[in-house]
Structure 1
Amino acid sequence: MDYRLTAEEEVEFNLLVATYKDKINLALYKCNIAYRQYDEFYGNALEGLLVSFLILKKGDIAEKDFDRFALATMKRKIIDELRRRSRYKLSCFEEVDNTKVFAISDNNLASIEIENSIKSVLTAEEYKIYNLLKQGLDSKIIFSKLNISKSKGYELIASIKSKYKSLLYNF
Structure 2
Amino acid sequence: MRRAAYWLFPLIAAAVAIFIVIFMIQINPSAPHMNDGTDGEESDTSPQITEQSGSWLDRFSISEEKGYFYPVNEVSLKLTDGGTATVAAHYRLTVPLKSSYELFCVKEELKKSELPYFMRKEGETMTLFVDSNDQNRLVSLVTKLKTYQIKATVSPYTEEK
Instruction: Tell me which protein shows more helix as a share of its residues.
Output: 1
- The two structures have a TM-score, normalised by structure 1, of 0.21
Computing the radius of gyration over CA atoms, which structure comes out larger, 1 or 2?
Answer: 2
Q: Which has the higher strand share?
A: 2
